[in-house]
A and B are shown apart, each in its own frame.
Chain A
Amino acid sequence: MLDNLSSSLKDALKKLAGKTVVDRAAVDELVKDLQRALISSDVNVKLVMELSKAIRTRSLDEQLPKGTNVREHVLRIVYQELVRLVWASTEVRLEPQTILMAGLQGSGKTTTTAKLARYFQKKGMKVAVICADTFRPGAYDQLNTLCTKIHVPCFGNPAEKDAIKITREGLAALREHELIIVDTQGRHALEADLIQEIIDLNILTKATHRWLVIDAALGQQASEQAKRFHEAIGIDGVIITKMDGTAKGGGAMSAVAETKSGIAFIGSGETIEDLERFDADGFISRLLGMGDLKALYEKATEAMNADDMDVNAMMKGKFTLRDMYKQLEALNKMGPLKQIMGMLPLGNMELPEGVYDVTSTKMLRYRIIMDSMTPGELDEPTLINSSRMSRIAHGSGATPDEVRELLKYFKTMQRTLKGLRGAGSGGKFNMQRLMKRFSGQQ
């Protein structure tokens, strides 16, 4: 179902691709698909509505920047708006501090506490952990077992029922440790006495950070819970757990928006090493279920400079080997072909798996062969006779057959472009058709 969704989003983007003017209906459709994508990823419904409104207004009102097409324009706005939401990345300093963990039952606080201890330990900090979960049976055993494995001291007492007392004793006992992480019992916002407990813990520990642990699968409830936790102790960072499942973490995004904080870490596995710093781009890509938006956006602007490719000349039919050389170079700058295809929201375009590898090595070969040609030959390929061919082959370490193949490929490209001009479809280089021709060559 999610695959359908992301491909429908891609299709919506694809519809924008050929347009030169921002089309209201197409933008509306895109925004609708975007809403569905975000809601399926558990982002708060109200937040989605605000977001899509902003994207819609900006897409329609803002001037189309020179040199970009509509698709890039809208993509950029979508990307900017989403990043703005999760932007405030929580800074993690390596200095003496106390971290208080908070969260709902079963969100993964204890496991994350151990992972965090491991993270700071690897950075060379002297870490210790206090188990202030006095409610759940086995909580101390769990944390203690995990901490013993990484040789981090764990303070706790399963017989004691007073979390405040344990924490006070723990802080005293672990005084010489630089970084202390306090694991707490799971609680939700409606349990008033437990909320009071965490307020007291916060005051007692004078915590430098109060991190809210959020299950990636948490739904619409995330905003409300985050809000109440924020009111109680002032959350300054969110940790998303269980990102190794299929959940998208939209709830965490709502929580971040609610607490005006950032996402500090992401937990994505069951071993103690499975903790990563947050990466906004990867997160957003996952949220929308499509390729890496930012990379696409940046690479496309960078590689497709007007200097690199004289589209107008090509459309007039003056397509020479030199143009093809530039084209191959431009493609090369964007990285492996497969990656480019993954990044382009081309929707339902399917290429056979083998094509990618063959073509990218072929492209390299072609460029080497062309390096052995004279400027005259590059401008006027018809000059190349069999004697020149064997000279070129000799110079580039290729066989005359390969040179012939290159020339054949060139002719196909030339014909493709002429065909495009004839059909009068847009004014843009048609990648899809080109690829079809290209794979036909093999």
Chain B
Amino acid sequence: MFGGLRDRLQAARNRLSSSIGAVVAPPAAEPVVTPPSSVAPGTPAATSAEPVKTAAPSFVDKVKVLVLERELIVSDKNIADALSELEMTLLESDVALPVTDAIIVSVRKNLVGKHRKIGESVDAMVVSALKTALLDVLGKGFDLREYINTHPRPVKILFTGVNGTGKTTSVAKIASYLHKQGFSVVIGAGDTYRAGAIEQIAVHAERIGIKVIQHKEGADPSAVLFDTVQYAISHKIDVVLADTAGRFHTKSNLMNQLDKIKRVMKPDLVVYVDEAVAGNDAVIRAAEFDRTVGADAIVLTKADMDSRGGAAISIAHTIGKPLMFLGVGQGYDDIIPFDPAGVVDELLDGA
């Protein structure tokens, strides 16, 4: 998972390091880039077209710098090439265009104008800038077990998303995951539209060994899910997982239906499901779902398809909601709780 992105990011990172390193190469020839100035101790500006001129340390600082710690300031020019390469890397990894722009701006802001001490590793600087940018975007993870433990039962979770992203399969996987963690689970077969959807979830539930509440094809999904919640209450079940039919955010009647489902079953969590292989559209539809029915957490499916994971970054950045799970295969166990720090470390780890 994310293997592709990792390789690419590492290449970009090396490139960034070397272009900063190159500036540093002749330290003797280019001593200090601080202009003579009597201004009181200034803080180096974060970003500027001419970061060199903005640094205005006091005389004491200047001497200190001259004598003790020769510093170099990274300028926009030094890293322009490397940044545009990083931009390509992100775009090729399916990070949507506006999100890519945001990350590049963040990395540039972090690097340009930075004083680099001679002894300090270029690499460390670059890694930390990239890390900050990525962590910024990915935010915190979402611990579902913790959530269920701290909330009144039954915890009702509604799954939404466009067609074919893997809602039904994810519901089955999460049911299996929670079942193994010792929670009691019931599934509501709320996809009453797609032919074969009820059969699909029923077979999954039978294999995992949990109960499904289902009506006939074409029934009102709100009614199905209301019954599911009632069942959970009367049988003291911990978690209700509500599957729904896939729908496009452009179909207002279907979005209204989702609204009705929300009113009727009052979910504690609305989970938005999308696929890791989706491109720029991921951003548009995630934003639209978030706007109309809301989303509290995200499940990203199909992350095993040699995916570079860009969609994770795009969606998380767009709606600012945590990623809960990653779907990484066709088996029930092929789902892993998402840990942003771990993923970012993995992405930037190694040579």
Contact = CB atoms under 8 A, between A and B. Distances in A.
Q: Which 5 A-B pairs have the closest CB atoms?
A: A219-B279, A142-B196, A138-B200, A137-B203, A42-B279
Interface of A: 1-2, 36, 39-42, 45-46, 104-108, 110, 135-146, 188-190, 215-222, 224-225, 241-242, 244-248, 250-251, 270
Interface stretch (B28-36, B50-58, B158-166, B176-184): B158-166
Given A244-B250, A245-B285, A217 B278 contact: yes
A36 B197 contact: no
Interface residues of B, number: 50
A41 B197 contact: no
A182 B164 CA distance: 19
Interface string B246-275: 001111000000000000000000000001
Interface in B209-236: 217
B39 interface: no
B129 interface: no
18 contacts: A2-B284, A39-B97, A39-B280, A42-B281, A46-B92, A105-B330, A106-B301, A137-B202, A138-B202, A139-B200, A142-B196, A188-B304, A217-B278, A217-B281, A219-B94, A221-B307, A242-B162, A250-B280
B250 A106 contact: no
B278 A218 contact: yes
B310 to A, nearest CB: 7
Contacts of B282: 217, 219
Which one of A36, A105, A139, A251 has the greatest number of beta carbons of chain B within 10 Å?
A105
Which one of B91, B195, B306 has the greatest number of beta carbons of chain A within 10 Å?
B195
B152 interface: no
A261 B278 CA distance: 22
Contact of B302 (A188, A241, A246): A188
Contacts of B307: 221
A186 to B, nearest CB: 9
Nearest to B247: A270
A50 to B, nearest CB: 13
Contacts of A188: 302, 304-306
Contact of B166 (A106, A146, A218): A106
B323 interface: no
B199 A141 contact: yes
Nearest to B314: A219
B204 interface: yes
Interface of B: 88, 91-94, 96-98, 162-166, 193-204, 217, 248-251, 275, 277-282, 284-285, 288, 301-302, 304-308, 310-311, 330
Contact of A190 (B250, B280, B304): B304
B256 to A, nearest CB: 16
A219 B196 contact: no
Contacts of B281: 42, 216-217, 245-248
Contacts of B197: 138, 142
A1 B280 CA distance: 11
Nearest to A114: B195
B310 A242 contact: no
B301 to A, nearest CB: 8
A220 B304 contact: no
B329 to A, nearest CB: 9
A118 to B, nearest CB: 14
Nearest to B165: A106
A136 to B, nearest CB: 7
A335 B210 CA distance: 63
Given A142-B196, A221-B305, A106 B285 contact: no
A246 B92 contact: no
A40 B99 CA distance: 11
Nearest to A109: B164
B97 A220 contact: no
B93 A138 contact: no
Given A45-B92, A219-B311, A245 B162 contact: yes
A40 B96 contact: yes
Given A137-B204, A142-B197, A224-B306, A219 B278 contact: yes
A111 to B, nearest CB: 8
A138 B285 contact: no
Given A137-B204, A219-B311, 5 more contacts: A138-B198, A138-B199, A141-B196, A142-B200, A217-B282
Contacts of B96: 40
